[in-house]
Amino acid sequence: MDRSFQDHLADLEPIINRYPTSAPFLRHVYLDLVLNKQWKQVEIKPIDSLVANVLLAHEPNTPAEDRLVILPRDHREKLSTDAIQAIFEKLNTAHLDDDSTHLHQLKKLTLAIVGSDSTVLYYHIHKGLVPPKEHV
């Protein structure tokens, strides 16, 4: 018998609530990706060094190796370049894969900024300089 999405979400609540201050933003971004954008591969991963969970997700119709590391944030939270650098460093030392291997030097992080009106804006932040995409 198929389980409902509500049952699945209830199973995720303990991991979502592991870090209570960021739980509402994580829950909101997770629901946006799964229900609104209809992404099928979205996993919640606790990162103790960040005192937060990240989402490991794969956007449909992109290469399988293009997995995104998404960090939900409140729009009122300020992030400096030093703070972003520290996030990259902590994620690079975290075990993000189930097979206990390290993700090879994270080059891109996606910030999911949750606004006061519940809008979610996704910003890709690259480590270092990256040339702009060519528009065709």
DSSP per position, 34-69 = IIIS--SEEEEEEEGGGTEEEEEEE-TTS-TT-EEE
pLDDT at 136: 65
pLDDT in tens, 73-127: 999 999 999 999 999 999 988 877 655 444 567 889 999 999 999 999 999 999 8
Helix (H, G, I), strand (E, B) or coil at 27: helix
Name the CATH architecture for the domain at 5-126: 3-Layer(aba) Sandwich (3.40)
Domain boundaries, the chain: 5-126
pTM equals 0.85
